[in-house]
Amino acid sequence: MKFGGTSVASVERWRNIRELAAARRAEGVRVLLVVSALAGVTDALKALCAEDDASARTQAADAIAERHRALAAAMQIALPERVGTLLDGLRQLAERGPEADGDPLAWKALVQGHGELLSSALGAAFLSAQHLPTQWIDSRDCLRAVALPNQNTRTRTLSATVDAQPDAALAERLAAQGEVLIAQGFIARDENGRCVLLGRGGSDTSASCFGAVLKAARVEIWTDVAGMFSANPRQVAGARLLRQLDYEEAQEIATTGAKVLHPRCLSPLRAPRVPLWIKDTNHPDMEGTEIGPQVREAAPSVKAISTRSGITLVSMESVGMWQQVGFLADVFDAFRRHGISVDLIGSAETNVTVSLDPTENLLDSDAVAALATDLAKVCRVKVIAPCAAVTLVGRGMRSMLHQLSSVLAEFGQLRVHMISQSSNNLNLTFVVDEDVVDDLLPRLHELLVRAGSLRSDDSQLFGPSWQALYGSGEQDIAPAWWRGERTRLLQLAAERSPRYVYHLPTVQARIDGLKHLQAVDHVHYAIKANNHARILQAVAASGFGLECVSPGELAAAKAAAPDAPRLFTPNFARRDDYAAALDDGATVTLDALHPMEHWGELFTGRSIMLRVDLGRGLGHHEKVRTGGSGSKFGLPLDQLDRFLELARTHDVRVQGLHAHLGSGILDAGHWGEVYAQLAALAERIGSIEILNIGGGLGVPSHPGEQPLDLNALDRVLSEVKAAYPQYRLWMEPGRYLVAESGVLLARVTQDKRKGGHHYLGIDAGMHNLIRPALYEAWHEIVNLSRLDQPAIALYQVVGPICETGDVLGNDRRLPVSAEGDVMLVAQAGAYGAVMASNYNLRETADEIVIE
């Protein structure tokens, strides 16, 4: 168990350590504590070393002694003898100075190593006094530093590497000494018996070296955060805790920017396969990150997105360099001479660009300038800084490229200096200007979740978000209604399956949410999302109109709610359809020249709405984007004048403009833009009274996605409306009102292992719910019969239809499931039953409404 500087700096924190160590002891294991120096002491010792005269040094030593005496007093223990001896020794070292023994580096290491020696000696006394007998161990008698060929005397002394081979004799010797031991981080001994330091992140490295040497059951790094996250939580509050990682992934995340673990501390643990846990000292019961040897069965997923700032790029240009044998050797020799190590490399026929990472290099501008001068002798040099490296980490990155299009699109707006894909297939790195990163990171994280490339639904891998663990919690997302209705649903499924169930109170809650929008004058529900009579009645009873796209829908609307205003917004409908709609009293929306050019007399004396194409589309999938030149909807703006001219000729009044750009939009700003664009057009036309800004209000589907903020929507709309107050504002949501109210219940038919996949067959398929096949839509799927069992199996959830695309969910983490289990597909209330077919001559699911 390793504890850092702040964790050992006060008596309260030591009490905490006592509890944690005692708890582990109670589990029947022996405990070795590895501690850092008290917070600030290592820096004070460094400052001591930098002093030139003896009196300043002894003064510094006295101040350090005082801190330890004060802590001993707070611990209510007499100053332990060992601490007294160490403090005397430190004072003598300070007096004598670096040159006294002719080995200034060894002196420095010994002085700086005193921080850990002191904290551990105090800790041993305190824990023993608190009835946890604790033996003090000198790490230098346990950890041997080895001299590596690429190290000079300085790095061998101040940034040493430990030979972490398992040592059974040492393990036995320590076991004989007691059940709780305490040792120092940061220090070891070299072949010549000198005290050496392990450099930055030294205590983490010490702990993992001890873990490897002793072949420990595990290493626990106790720190101030629960573990590794899918992004830096300081930049992305929605970043998710990573529950389980293998060594390689954790190494990659640590190397590419996560600060919680020093990258050096994982490699000693790999060969002896010792797991490493990261835990939060302040919240010991909170789960953390477990890093281990197992590469787990899991869906390919981006695990984390990390960033490193302060990156310098060096671009080296030479004409026809590949023909010059030894060019790269010359170039890289310059880096070696300047002691600068290279991180990423990109090459072309005449150019090699490398990145320099500040955590690996002492990169001041002098060092870079000197390097550049040297390089200029063999090539043309350009230095680009400051840059940042943004890295996506995950096993099998190359197989995930197709899911990254939205992420890559984000980089389309930026200057990307370099892209690098690691040869171990674990990372994909983009080097961009440093100043864009703070804005970029939260957006990228959200896009990764939304695109399903960061599989936030896999609860084995992804834990709660940082916000949920430490912040004010997530934006209040009530648990889905079906959790509370489990018994009733199981009963309904036992009677018959597959079957749709709609929860009317949830529909009503969404209706009420929209009714509160001050800025919206009238809502029409797009009944194509779900035309169940009970739902239409509920919507109509709340004063909403019904938006229909076919004569069939007009009839259904009229039958269920005769008094609700009807809006007819078809696309490529027949002449007769319009005639019938007008007879029916519906408000008709046209979206092409053709009806006006060829059937103009049909509309004479009438008021109509005009749907325009604002030239762009939006939405969760290309097939739901209904705007833009690639879609068949709306009148292109360059035909607007012609349309208006025809309308005048036929005495048709264009009373409203309409635009509906797509479905599944979660950004409130969108509708404000649509309103502003329509309003600008309307001012040119004159007769316009109504602006219909469409539907498309999204419902979050992936865990971690934030719901559409209705208050923000109202604010945005009120603002644009204040600029154009003369228009009435209409909206026509479909999915938003009904998606969450509906579930599809099905039962497990068979399971099958094939080709590395585990298929779970259910009696509902794409004929019941086509959204996954049609839009790659993601629906949560749970095993309702085993809702409380751990989700440990990874399934492909498939239906009975003879199509490869008959997959309702890929790579789903579920409890081990059996024939007859009731499965629930969530958020199936919109575009579910209404899109069903009898394909394969399979029966459709029936629909039940519950109050």
Ligand X SMILES: *Cc1c(COP(=O)(O)O)cnc(C)c1O
Which residues of this chain interact with ligand X, rule CB under 6 A? Answer: 526, 528-529, 547, 549, 569, 660, 663, 694-697, 732-736
Q: How many helices (H) and strands (E) does the chain have?
A: 27, 37
Q: CB-wise, 210 or 831, nearer to ligand X? A: 831
320 DSSP 8-state letter: T
Please, where are the H alpha helices in 530-622?
533-541, 551-560, 575-584, 594-598
Strands 781-783 and 822-825: antiparallel
Q: Which amino acid is at 625?
A: R
Question: Are the CB atoms for 201 and 264 separated by under 8 Å?
Answer: yes
**Least distance in Å: CB of 548 to ligand X?**
10
**Least distance in Å: CB of 767 to ligand X?**
21
Q: CB-wise, 662 or 704, nearer to ligand X? A: 662
**Least distance in Å: CB of 206 to ligand X?**
57
Q: Is the peptide bond before 464 cis (omega within 30 degrees of 0)?
A: no
Q: CB-wise, 462 or 568, nearer to ligand X? A: 568
**C-alpha span between 848 and 803 (Å, rounded):** 28
Q: CB-wise, 463 or 664, nearer to ligand X? A: 664
Q: CB-wise, 697 or 822, nearer to ligand X? A: 697
Q: Which of 431, 262, 415, 416 is nearest to 356 (CA)?
A: 431
* Cross-strand bridge partners of residue 762: 748
**Least distance in Å: CB of 622 to ligand X?**
14
**Least distance in Å: CB of 523 to ligand X?**
11
* Cross-strand bridge partners of residue 483: none
**Least distance in Å: CB of 732 to ligand X?**
4
**C-alpha span between 699 and 679 (Å, rounded):** 27
Which conformational region is residue 642 in: left (phi greater than 0), alpha (psi within -120 to 50 degrees), or beta? alpha
**Least distance in Å: CB of 664 to ligand X?**
6
Scanning the structure block, which residue is given the tokens 């509708």? 671
Q: CB-wise, 36 or 569, nearer to ligand X? A: 569
Residue 684: CB atoms within 10 A of its CB come to: 10
Helix, strand, coil % (nearest 5) of the chain? Answer: 40, 25, 40
Q: CB-wise, 219 or 697, nearer to ligand X? A: 697
Q: CB-wise, 247 or 730, nearer to ligand X? A: 730
**Least distance in Å: CB of 707 to ligand X?**
14
Question: Are the CB atoms for 319 and 350 separated by under 8 Å?
Answer: yes
**C-alpha span between 247 and 140 (Å, rounded):** 27
Element (H, E) at 460: none
Please, where are the H alpha helices in 599-727?
640-649, 669-685, 710-723
Long-range contacts of 452-456 (CB under 8 A, 24+ apart): 452/403, 452/702, 452/778, 453/301, 453/302, 453/400, 453/403, 453/404, 453/407, 454/230, 454/240, 454/301, 454/302, 454/303, 454/305, 455/298, 455/299, 455/301, 455/811, 456/230, 456/240, 456/702, 456/703, 456/704
Q: CB-wise, 4 or 696, nearer to ligand X? A: 696
Q: CB-wise, 466 or 736, nearer to ligand X? A: 736
Question: Are the CB atoms for 260 and 227 separated by under 8 Å?
Answer: yes
**Least distance in Å: CB of 824 to ligand X?**
22
Scanning the structure block, which residue is given the tokens 């490529």? 572
53 DSSP 8-state letter: S
Residues catalogued as catalytic: 802
User: Which residue, judged by CB position, is nearest to ligand X in the bound state?
Assistant: 734
Enter the tokens of residue 819. 């024939």
**Least distance in Å: CB of 528 to ligand X?**
5
**C-alpha span between 813 and 783 (Å, rounded):** 10
